[in-house]
Amino acid sequence: MLTYYLSIIDDPQQKSEFEKLYSAHRTAALRAAMIVTGGNTAIAEDALHDTFMKIIDGWEKFFRRPCNNWRSLIVIMVKNRAIDILRREKKLISFDENIADIDSESEDLAAVLQNQERFDFLVDCVAEIPEYYRIPLELRCYHEMSNTEIAEVLGVEYSNVTLRISRAKAKLRKIIEGGSK
């Protein structure tokens, strides 16, 4: 696929930068998509392709500011694209732990299923938050990044990250309570 991507990029410097970006982060991004899709290689690869095409199409916007953690940003973009594809196909797999791996002696199956339902509900609620607010929240909660690191990844001010996370939490509360986004 790299050859295809490079063939649609005209600028030699952009080709070089894209090749480095693709080579460095393709595997981690594909792995994340495979987890979200429950191992569906076709959908994971589609999400990966769509994300890299989006990066190429928005090159100037994407590389407007330097970033110290492209990997996290690309992984989140691919993961979100995979979720969008699965939603479209009504096949969202949100609980990525194998229930067969749970030790039945240590946990009651009913409690495990109840926890799975809560987890699924929460993942669905987070997925409803607009991407503008959801990405900083995911970087903070899933990747345990500091607001300073998130600001660097997204190329925004620290105060903007704090505001987006606060608004994401407020939107999540409304969604959970059954309100609007």
In this predicted model, what pLDDT tens digit does every residue of 64-103 receive, in sequence order?
A: 666 667 888 888 889 888 888 887 776 444 443 433 443 4
Is residue 1 a part of any domain in this protein?
no
Is residue 7 a part of any domain in this protein?
no
Same domain (yes/no): 83, 109: no
What pLDDT score was predicted for residue 96? 39
Domain that holds residue 145: 105-181
pTM: predicted TM-score of the whole model, two decimal places: 0.55
Same domain (yes/no): 89, 123: no
Is residue 20 a part of any domain in this protein?
yes
Mean pLDDT, residues 137-147: 79
Looking at per-residue pLDDT, the higher value among 33 and 143 belongs to 33
Is residue 120 a part of any domain in this protein?
yes
Q: Look at residues 93, 128, 158 and tell me which one is the last residue of a structural domain.
A: 93
- Inter-residue contact 127 to 83 (CB < 8 Å): yes
Same domain (yes/no): 74, 119: no
Same domain (yes/no): 83, 142: no
Q: How confident is the model at residue 108 (pLDDT cuts 50, 70, 90)?
A: low
Same domain (yes/no): 17, 76: yes
SS3 at position 180:
coil
Mean pLDDT is lowest, of 37-51, 112-126, 164-178, for 112-126
What pLDDT score was predicted for residue 159? 95
Is residue 98 a part of any domain in this protein?
no
CA 72 to the chain's CA centroid: 8
Same domain (yes/no): 73, 113: no
* Overall domain count for the chain: 2
Average pLDDT, the chain: 79
* CA–CA gap between residue 109 and residue 178 (Å, rounded): 28
Same domain (yes/no): 31, 73: yes
* CA–CA gap between residue 115 and residue 153 (Å, rounded): 32
Sign of CA dihedral 150, 72, 78, 50: positive
Same domain (yes/no): 119, 83: no
Mean pLDDT, residues 24-29: 90
What are the residues whose beta carbons fall under 8 Å from the beta carbon of 66, sequence distance 6 or more?
155
Same domain (yes/no): 53, 110: no
What pLDDT score was predicted for residue 110? 56
Q: How confident is the model at residue 1 (pLDDT cuts 50, 70, 90)?
A: confident
Same domain (yes/no): 114, 80: no
Same domain (yes/no): 64, 123: no
Q: Is the pLDDT of residue 105 over 50?
A: no
- Inter-residue contact 120 to 95 (CB < 8 Å): yes
Same domain (yes/no): 179, 109: yes
In the chain the first and final C-alpha atoms are separated, in Å, by: 37
